[in-house]
Amino acid sequence: MFPLHYEGDIFRPPSEARSLILQATIGCSHNRCTFCAMYKRKKFRERNLDELEKEINAAGRTWPHTRRVFLADGNALTMASEKLRSILELLNTSFPHLERVAIYSNPHDLLQKESSELTELRRLKLGMIYLGVESGSASLLQAVNKGATPAEMILGAARVKEAGIPLSITVINGLAGREGSAEHARETARLLNEIDPEYLGLLSLMIIPGTTLYRQVKEGRLTPLGPWEMLQEIRLMVEHLSLSNCLFRANHASNYLPLKAVLSKDQESLLTALDEVLKEKAPGILRSEIHRML
Ligand code: SF4
């Protein structure tokens, strides 16, 4: 019998494709972002520890060589530190080769935890926190109902860095539509420069039926960017980035152009490659050329 119990659709970052996924919470405790439909059908709740313990024990017997675990759903870091500690201890016991546990967080989850609590979780192999900041524009974050300001995100991210846990930030290309694209690009670069994350993932906005954002587009209140405008927005953001050592990836299924670079090392070559692609405006150039140029 399959040892893990999953409720509804399961989402995980692309880099967790090989991780064992344990659904520690169901849904997202915020669940109000205008563009997001991932957890709309789920009412948020935490799974109880007894239930999780049985699952972890069974998974340990089935896959004893597991090295990586991802704790789903939307923001499992919202759980109290004590409960997270217990889950991590169980994982460490059941998986003797465990190297890293990763988790999604929203900004308020980080603000509810002291650095010392995060340090303790790191000691138990919490080794990656994925934080969706989406944009650095205060007005856009308010418009999309993200529930956090850029200042709160900077504060939360600083706690993660202080605890020594690698931070992976996600930003949404095209989120402001044509109307706010330039501000979104510049302000996002400004926020990222403040946070200086180890990893940066760029997704392209997907307009999903049933969301508030979908209605806004239908009503003509937001003009989605075309593929070339998406690239121009990326170019503007990259131009304004000043990161010390960040692995930048735009390789999600939603992206028009797969990109991978280390910033700041590859920043100039990435800009040159984007300029070349934008100059040609030939779809055929996209995948092959960008990799040749980087
Ligand atoms: S916090 Fe994340 S998962 Fe929750 S609604 Fe917003 S984008 Fe979706």
- pLDDT tens digit at each of 294 positions of the chain: 788 999 999 999 989 999 999 999 999 999 999 999 999 999 999 999 999 999 999 999 999 999 999 999 999 999 999 999 999 999 999 999 999 999 999 999 999 999 999 999 999 999 999 999 999 999 999 999 999 999 999 999 999 999 999 999 999 999 999 999 999 999 999 999 999 999 999 999 999 999 999 999 999 999 999 989 999 999 999 999 999 999 999 877 677 777 889 998 899 999 998 998 888 765 554 544 444 445
Q: How far is the CA of 30 from the centre of ligand 1 (A)?
A: 6
132: Cβ below 6 Å to ligand 1? yes
**Look-up: residue for tokens 């990326």?**
234
Q: Is the pTM here over 0.85, yes or no? A: yes
Whether 5 and 52 have beta carbons less than 8 Å apart is answered as no
103: Cβ below 6 Å to ligand 1? no
Q: Does domain 14-293 sit in CATH 3.80.30.20?
A: yes
Helices 115-123 and 150-163 pack at an angle, to 10 degrees, of 40
Mutate to test the pocket of ligand 1, among 106, 133, 208 (most ligand atoms within 8 A of CB): 106
Which residues 6+ apart lie within 8 Å of 215 measured at CB? none
Q: The tokens of 105 are what?
A: 């967080």
107: Cβ below 6 Å to ligand 1? no
The closest-lying atom of ligand 1 relative to the alpha carbon of residue 38 is: 8
Distance from C-alpha of 264 to C-alpha of 240, rounded to nearest angstrom:
11
Q: How far is the CA of 202 from the centre of ligand 1 (A)?
A: 15
The closest-lying atom of ligand 1 relative to the alpha carbon of residue 29 is: 4
Distance from C-alpha of 190 to C-alpha of 122, rounded to nearest angstrom:
28
Mutate to test the pocket of ligand 1, among 26, 28, 111 (most ligand atoms within 8 A of CB): 28
Whole-number pLDDT of residue 283: 52
137: Cβ below 6 Å to ligand 1? no
How much is the CA Rg of the chain, to the nearest whole Å?
19
> 3-state secondary structure string, the chain?
CCCCCCCCCCCCCHHHCCCEEEECEECCCCCCCCCCCCCCCCCCEECCHHHHHHHHHHHHHHCCCCCEEEEECCCHHHCCHHHHHHHHHHHHHHCCCCCEEEEEECHHHHHCCCHHHHHHHHHCCEEEEEEEEECCCHHHHHHCCCCCCHHHHHHHHHHHHHHCCCEEEEEEECCCCCCCHHHHHHHHHHHHHHHCCCEEEEEECCCCCCCHHHHHHHCCCCCCCCHHHHHHHHHHHHHCCCCCCEEEEECCCCCCCCEEEEECCCHHHHHHHHHHHHHHCCCCHHHHHHHHHC
Residue nearest to atom 4 of ligand 1 (CA): 31
Domain locations in the chain as residue ranges: 14-293
Residue nearest to atom 6 of ligand 1 (CA): 33
What number of other Cβ atoms are within 10 A of residue 31's Cβ? 18
Which residues partner with 203 through β-bridges?
172
Whole-number pLDDT of residue 250: 86
Whole-number pLDDT of residue 89: 98
Residue nearest to atom 8 of ligand 1 (CA): 36
Whole-number pLDDT of residue 286: 52
Whole-number pLDDT of residue 289: 47
Q: How far is the CA of 74 from the centre of ligand 1 (A)?
A: 7
Residue nearest to atom 5 of ligand 1 (CA): 31
Whole-number pLDDT of residue 161: 96
241: Cβ below 6 Å to ligand 1? no
Distance from C-alpha of 52 to C-alpha of 100, rounded to nearest angstrom:
18
Q: How far is the CA of 140 from the centre of ligand 1 (A)?
A: 15
